[in-house]
Amino acid sequence: MQFDFSRNHFELFGLAPGFALDLAALEQAYRALQSQVHPDKFTHLSQAEQRASMQWSTRVNEAYQALKSPLNRALYLLQLQGIDALAEHDTAMPGDFLMQQIEWREGIQDAREAADVTALQTLEAELASTAQQLRAGLARQLDEQHDYASAAQSVRKLKFMDKLVAEIHDTYEALET
């Protein structure tokens, strides 16, 4: 057997698959694995060992990234169910959410024009609380109800929220300079 890349990310870290995840255990397993496979441990060894080390270390980093953030974790759990939540043909969003989106976007635009940092912070806090609700919903949809269609919808909403937060950060930057 060569690289056992068939192991899924949860198995790689010896964790039970699920949206609710013990982040401290994930981090500890990640560090334990990197301590074994990181290229820094192999610089004085043969090229074959260095190559294997880079492949493994890359793989461990990828798995950690996929599980660490709630959005990526949800995407990955859906992928394990054969669902690509961000596939382009599947982006229909409910009307009320789209309306809300437009409002937020206008809010950011207004704050930018008025150079109003406080308004941006208020918006950011509002987005954070909505994202928190979506994540709580995901835990139910994925771990308890196994309602993957709804989970995929929540993931798409979270992705939208992520983009808005990035826009807010860009706006802070623009206002700072």
Partner 1 sequence: MALLQISEPGMSTAPHQHRLAAGIDLGTTNSLVASVRNGVSVVLNDEDGRALLPSVARYTAAHEPVVGYAAQCTQSTDPHNTVVSVKRFMGRGLADITDAGSFPYHFVDAPGMVQFKTAAGVKSPVEISADILRVLRNRAERSLGGELSGVVITVPAYFDDAQRQATKDAARLAGLNVLRLLNEPTAAAIAYGLDNAAEGIYAVYDLGGGTFDISILRLSQGVFEVLATNGDSALGGDDFDQRVFCWILEKSRLAALNAKDTRLLLTKAREAKEALSEHREVGITAVLSTGETVDLMLTAATFNEITQSLVNKTLAPTRKALRDAGLSVDEIKGVVMVGGSTRMPRIQAAVAEFFKQTPLTNLDPDKVVALGAAIQANVLAGNRTEDDWLLLDVIPLSLGIETMGGLVEKIVPRNTTIPAARGQEFTTYKDGQTAMSIHVLQGERELVSDCRSLAKFELRGIPPMVAGAARIRVTFQVDADGLLSVSAQELKSGVQASVTVKPAYGLVDEDITRMLRDSYTHAKDDMQTRALQEARVDAQRLLDATQTALDENAAQLLTADERDAIEAAMSKLQARLDVSDHRAIKDAAEALNAATHDFAARRMDMSVRQALAGQRLDAI
Measured between alpha carbons, how far is 67 from 89 in angstroms, rounded to an integer? 25
Q: Among 16, 20, 23, 28, which residue interacts with partner 1 (rule: CB under 8 A)? A: 28
Quote the least distance from Cβ 113 to partner 1, whole Å.
21
Q: Among 8, 17, 18, 41, which residue interacts with partner 1 (rule: CB under 8 A)? A: 41
Examine residue 122 and tell whether it contacts partner 1 (CB under 8 A): no
Quote the least distance from Cβ 77 to partner 1, whole Å.
20
Q: Among 23, 35, 93, 163, which residue interacts with partner 1 (rule: CB under 8 A)? A: 35
Examine residue 121 and tell whether it contacts partner 1 (CB under 8 A): no
Measured between alpha carbons, how far is 42 from 40 in angstroms, rounded to an integer? 5
Query: Which one of the spans 43-51, 70-78, 94-102, 133-141 is the region binding partner 1 (CB under 8 A)?
Result: 43-51
Examine residue 57 and tell whether it contacts partner 1 (CB under 8 A): yes
Alpha-carbon separation of residue 49 from 29, 38, 45 (angstroms): 22, 11, 6
Examine residue 13 and tell whether it contacts partner 1 (CB under 8 A): yes
Write phi, then psi, for 93 (nearest 5 degrees).
Answer: -115, 150
**# residues contacting partner 1 (CB under 8 A):** 45
Measured between alpha carbons, how far is 129 from 56 in angstroms, rounded to an integer? 37
Residue linked to tokens 């206008």: 106
Examine residue 63 and tell whether it contacts partner 1 (CB under 8 A): no
Examine residue 3 and tell whether it contacts partner 1 (CB under 8 A): yes
Q: Output 65 or 150, the one with its CB closest to partner 1.
A: 65
| Residues forming the site for partner 1 (CB under 8 A) | 1-4, 12-14, 25, 28-29, 31-49, 51-54, 56-58, 61-62, 64-65, 169, 172-173, 176-177
